[in-house]
Structure 1
């Protein structure tokens, strides 16, 4: 049956009748597939009729021409499931998605081409985008509502008016979606300002506005640019995201405030998309970053967003407040939530085995030699770390070691001893030392803390982007080890009475009789990441605000489970973590 969405006057029309889109954002790639159904059922129970998702290009095409739409990346399966539950689906394919996601979803390998310019009608960029859209639309074109599927709308680019004004680029994307079978409603979304709405829109494509408050003002501005057509808030920011930092809070927004804004939108006859309905988790090293007055502002692992449905799938006060508002405007059946997902404290996990990272770098990566330091992009690397190794010849008097453009965080080691940590923007000097007669090994471990996902610094490279100097003299002759840490199976672990100093991967085991959701408490640890059975749960950092990492039950198995913890600094004496049954996202902003 054809459930296509169309426009008549100021209304959306579906099945011959006016309809309001009551939508919630949920990104399939931020939720383990086993929980897709649970989250979608809860979305429907809040009174929503549509689910919206971005598409993360950098996950689907990790290397040029190599595509992956399997497992947790099976967008078509996610959309079909939503359709089976009676939901419409809105897909926002980008190619840029922002989303507090690494490089706004763009693959980092794009940055290898010096002639390529992001998000415009640049020939190398367009060629890569077209190849991606060929693969993506082959997955979702059969799911268009015109063919009986659930997909009712596709977004063209994403808040493009906040970045550029290349109408040739926008037209190429819109025509490309149509040509590849996207015969559904197309739309653009931008902030409610003249600059944004004039830059990011096309005259024949529906415009929607993104905002979190002052709905009446926002819709009035939208009407100045689009006198007729349905009103829609494409992103209703009902919460917000968090950055790492000692003074950074976990952002929250009062449920009654959200309910008031929702009431204003529905009273105005508008459609709405909750951003987010369910945020999920920035698994792995894919959390994004902003760049502000204080420098890089990296996002935490949790994407809870203070959304109506928490990171771990629990309906919040905001969920119930929103449902109450919706019920005043539309008839809703009695609330019928799925059973709560069990949570469990599995207790203390000892991490008695260790694999020093610098010593075992050659197990994880082939050495690459170059005169000057190479960036992650030169090394064909999306995320993680680069170890730079060289030999210095003494004697040398006391000199400053300087790193030019360290992106983003470096640990400096001389003959195995850590001389200090260099944070981006504070590179000079990285260390000061003298050398005795003979050869000395200098190692610099550089972490890509997060790729920027919004703003003019989008195309930034990672690693040592400039050079390294001793005093006023540049040093040449480097060996590189690219360490994305996407496969740690080749590490060799040993049991040590005392933990080694410096960056090290520790291993322990969790015995589970029945899997349940749990949270990894890393009190006493400094900075690093956690893997369960080879799956990267994401980063931890003692600066907060987030204190515990979410571990969904489907990542556990009955019996013995392998838990790995990368500690970038020195491990605590006890070398234990706790698996607890309560989250800790940090001190709130309220």
Structure 2
């Protein structure tokens, strides 16, 4: 690959003026068997570069355990990008935001009760340095200085929106260099934060999706020379549970792109292809009210969640063609889709009766322990203790992170939601010695702002009529595998947290969308692959099923319904997504 240089006039590629036409494509949000397809479509839209974050929390799920294979095989993704003739902008964090769980920071950092993330806290720096020392050596052969596709690497991410501690950025940049990164470095910030987040001697870039001319002017005022670049050109947005599906007019977005390219700037579309927050990987925001992000990361992007070109693909390609060569190949057609109606989920097992086949070792503690203290990343924790007396009582929970279903002797008595600022529940204890159970769901760690110090589970004391409840059993339920569940055929529809299982036949695998009409809230798996969360509150009303997770012949669908399935206990695979109503 040619070498990228930066001088006072702009980007130079092997000494010739160059414009970066890039698009966001996160390998960890796309099934690896579909990477090549998405990269080919990036080239066909006229892009010469793709951008990806790197999620520390997936690559190092536990201290010293480093993963880079399968869906996390970043070198394989970089190989495919190079084969397509695409350059790569690498954004390794350690913090990435991205509406990703915890902004990509591993949850085990929060086992330290007073750690300061994204700072010069020695405990944080030690962990970051170790992460880079494991992540970067396998990636050095992919730097453009030795013929690879990676032409530039980002330092942190929108740091100016969080802090003005320049020493921290200096440390990160020095660590990247010490670990062998010898391509250009850059930072990115929203225009108002450039003064806090830029690093002297490192290219500053800006993030915005509108008001292109004044935002480029703000970047030029901060950085009088060098390239103009929008590293996150927001052409869509993400969705949160309980709101509308966010879309942005393709014509208006194309006009903003035209304005940006006419100014001579480089661009990275955020996103070119959003993908999916599979499993439990969605993040959340908390600006005085907790707001978890949905499973889909469609982002109203040029490629939709299933990788099909949208109206924006054509609109953006037409604009790009005014400024750079665009492949003569036609717009790729919509891929094949699969439909299977009326999948019967006939086998069931209540979660509370099966927890010991799912969880790790139960931990006895005087007070409830957080997920992080239990060494757990995602999923649920079941907290249980025995109540001393019968009768009406007030249950108070100091900290619910993020949603607690409350049971007495296995029967549901209420729900406490962080999003609604709920901390108390009136109940009637049926007998002395009744078992109090709280099934607490991590709905996604906060990924932006000071709220990233977001510990999960029960984060404080629990009281009954003002008296502290002690003597807890804390059982982690990460749900990383569902093997061993004792499913049985049941005629009646179970109420309360229950796993439901059914099978369906496929002649030829193709992309499809799982619709759970009439179901309430939970998670779904196909052939053991975690599709993500569903919730009747919307806006999202379907889950994307990538073709590679299906197989010819018999397939298995498992649904964890936390409340109540509809009476028929059926699900549908349909050829279309339903991401919910828009505001228009």
Give TM class, smaller chain.
over 0.9
Pairwise CA distance, 1:71: 0.9
Aligned to 1:400: 394
**What is the aligned partner in structure 1 of residue 416 from structure 2?**
422
Work out the CA distance in 1 between the residues paired with 2:22 and 2:486: 48
CA contact (8 A) 1:26 1:276 kept: yes
Confirm or deny that 1:234 pairs with 2:231: yes
Match of 1:309?
303
1:126 & 1:426 partners in 2: Cα distance? 34
Residue 280 (structure 1) aligns with: 275
Q: Is the 8 A contact 2:308 2:333 kept in 1?
A: no
- Cα contact 1:376–1:386 (8 A) shared by 2: yes
Counterpart of 2:366 (choices 364, 371, 378) is 371
Whole-Å Cα distance in 2 between the matches of residues 405 and 267 of structure 1?
A: 51
> Does 1:254 find its partner at 2:249?
yes
Aligned equivalents of 1:301, 1:313: Cα separation in 2: 16
1:137 maps to which residue? 136
Matched, 1:504 2:501: no
Q: Which residue of 1 aligns with 2:198?
A: 201
Q: List runs of 5+ in structure 2 lacking aligned partners.
A: none
Asked if structure 1 preserves the Cα contact closer than 8 Å seen for 2:385 and 2:471, the reply is yes
CA displacement at 1:115 relative to structure 2? 4.4
Alpha-carbon distance, 1:399 to partner: 1.4
Normalised to the residue count of structure 2, the TM-score between the two structures is: 0.98
Matched ranges for 1:171-570 at <5 A: 171-193=170-192, 196-245=193-242, 248-293=243-288, 295-338=289-332, 340-365=334-359, 366-394=361-389, 396-424=390-418, 425-436=420-431, 438-570=432-564
Deviation at 1:427, TM superposition (A): 3.0
CA contact (8 A) 1:509 1:563 kept: yes
**Is contact 1:41-1:337 (8 Å) kept?**
no
Mapped contact 1:281–1:303 kept (Cα < 8 A): yes
Question: Structure 1-normalised TM-score?
Answer: 0.97
- Paired position in structure 1 for 2:49: 50
Q: Distance in 2 between matches of 1:589 and 1:91?
A: 34
In structure 2, how many angstroms separate the alpha carbons of the residues matched to 1:121 and 1:469? 37
Given the alignment of the two structures, is residue 166 of structure 1 paired with residue 165 of structure 2, yes or no? yes
Aligned Cα RMSD in Å? 1.2
After the TM superposition, which parts of structure 1 deviate over 4 Å for at least 4 consecutive aligned residues? none
The equivalent residue for 1:64 is 63
Q: Report deviation, 1:467.
A: 1.3
Please state how far the C-alpha of 1:278 moved relative to its aligned partner: 0.3
- Cα deviation, residue 431, structure 1: 3.0
Deviations 1:260-282 (A, max 9, x none): 10011111000000000000000
Once residues 62 and 191 of structure 1 are traced to their aligned partners in structure 2, the CA distance between those partners, rounded to angstroms, is 30
- Do the aligned partners of 1:387 and 1:446 also contact (CA within 8 Å) in 2? yes
- The equivalent residue for 1:113 is 112
Out of 361-370 and 479-488, give the one that drifted further: 361-370
Partner residue in 1 for 2:574: 580
SS of the aligned residue for 1:377 comes to coil
Between the two proteins, the alignment pairs up a number of residues equal to: 582
